Amino acid sequence: MSDRDNLTMARAILADSLNVDPQAITEDATIETLESWDSLGHMRLVLAIEAQLTRQLTPMEIAELESLRSLQKILASGGPA
Amino acid sequence: MSVLRKRPVHLTTERFLLRNLTANDASERYLAWAADAEVMGPLNVKPTRMAREQLAAYISGFDGINRFLIGIFTRADKLHIGFYMVEVDPVHQVASFNVVIGDKDYWGKKVVLETREALLEHFFEERGIEKIIGQPLARNIPAIFNYRAEGWRLEGVLKAHRKSMTDGRRLDQMQYAMLKSEWRARRGAA
């Protein structure tokens, strides 16, 4: 999957988890800049990523999940080996 | 400033009031939280059905000097919605924070982000604390979000550090921290 595809998927997953319009999520979106990114949305986001990757995220992946770009990076890491 | 003086915590934020709990706060609401797996599970505490007297005795066990049980109440209608447990090591001037939002209507409402700011300010600036830590389980995702969103620093992942109180599995735990200097720098930058 290309970087662009991963970014599109990341934006779709984040928008769905936070219940916002994907167009409202800019490429530099972070926990600090997205008002709708709250603790429950974050939990939905982690579960959605895990469903997509068919594996549990590591503690460090969860800790580093703080922006659209970090979500894109996790998706690029792929599912189970 | 000494950390050993007994002074009650009484803080207000935009939406909430924080104060020491007393035996009189052992309500049916609080008892229901203690028995709710969804509330207590993320803390690795086995849900427990207690009598009101047992809960009152538990609350009374917090001395308000080195161990604090601090209730979160709405300012508008004085509704008890959760609590903080704070333990202080007075020698090393380190405190640890734990928080439970028992009222599920307040989940996802940024209660922790608003109230913990006030507690950080209080313990750093009024009680002589130099470092505050939080140790959420690695799968306590809302808690991890809150530490991250509030600017706490991840100090490490404690692998298999806890035994699950429900099924015996080994659980990873995170350690987040905030130094007084980091708090002041962050506050100054805000």
Residue B2 maps to a domain? no
Domain interval for residue B107: 10-189
Flag if B148 and A63 touch (Cβ within 8 Å): yes
Cβ partners under 8 Å of residue B13, min gap 6? B75, B114, B115, B117, B118
Pick A60's closest partner by Cβ from B142, B149, B157: B157
- Average pLDDT value over all residues in chain B: 94
The yes-or-no verdict on residue B96 having pLDDT over 60 is yes
Instruction: Give tens-digit pLDDT for B19-33.
Output: 999 999 999 999 999
Distance from CA of B105 to the nearest CA of A (A): 12
| pLDDT (average), residues B46-72 | 96
Residue B38 maps to a domain? yes
| In chain B, alpha helices (H) | 28-34, 37-40, 52-60, 111-125, 141-149, 180-189
Instruction: Give tens-digit pLDDT for B103-115.
Output: 999 998 999 999 9
Q: Domain locations in chain A?
A: 3-77
Domain A3-77 is found in CATH 1.10.1200.10: yes
Per DSSP bridges, beta strands B16-20 and B94-101 are unpaired
Indicate the angle between helix axes A3-18 and A39-53, nearest 10 degrees: 140
Distance from CA of A69 to the nearest CA of B (A): 16
Of A65-69, B33-37, B138-142, B185-189, which range is least confident?
B185-189
The yes-or-no verdict on residue B190 having pLDDT over 90 is no
Residue B3 maps to a domain? no
- The 3-state DSSP class for residue B104 equals helix
**CATH number of the domain within which B140 lies:** 3.40.630.30
Residue B4 maps to a domain? no
The torsion angles phi and psi of B35, rounded to 5 degrees, stand at -100, 0
Instruction: Give tens-digit pLDDT for B117-142.
Output: 999 999 999 999 999 999 999 999 99
Structure token digits, residue B119 = 């507690």
Laid out side by side, the sheet with B16-20 consists of B10-12, B16-20, B67-74, B80-89, B94-101, B131-134, B170-179, B153-163
Cβ partners under 8 Å of residue B10, min gap 6? B17, B18, B19, B20
Chain A residues with CB under 8 Å of a chain B CB are 31-32, 37-43, 46, 59-60, 62-63, 66
Residue B57 maps to a domain? yes
Residue B5 maps to a domain? no
| Chain centroid, CA A59 distance in Å | 15
CB-based contact A42:B141 (threshold 8 Å)? yes
Structure token digits, residue B67 = 């161990």
> Please, which pLDDT band fits residue B5 given cuts at 50, 70 and 90?
low
Q: Which residue of A has its CA nearest to B174?
A: A59
Residue B26 maps to a domain? yes
Flag if B142 and A59 touch (Cβ within 8 Å): no
Which among B113, B107, B169, B171 is positioned nearest to B138, based on CA atoms?
B171
How far, in Å, CA of B79 to CA of B99, rounded? Answer: 17
Q: Which helix (H) or strand (E) holds A43?
A: helix A39-53
Distance from CA of A28 to the nearest CA of B (A): 16
Number of other CB atoms surrounding residue A12 within 10 Å: 13
Residues of chain A in contact with residue B142, where contact means CB-CB under 8 angstroms, are 39-40, 42-43
Flag if A59 and B149 touch (Cβ within 8 Å): no
> Please, which pLDDT band fits residue B2 given cuts at 50, 70 and 90?
very low
The yes-or-no verdict on residue A81 having pLDDT over 90 is no
| Count of structural domains, chain B | 1
How far, in Å, CA of B79 to CA of B76, rounded? Answer: 8
Q: What is the ipTM of this complex?
A: 0.89
The pLDDT assigned to A6 comes to 85
Residues of chain A in contact with residue B103, where contact means CB-CB under 8 angstroms, are none
- Return the amino acid letter for A70: S
The yes-or-no verdict on residue B12 having pLDDT over 70 is yes
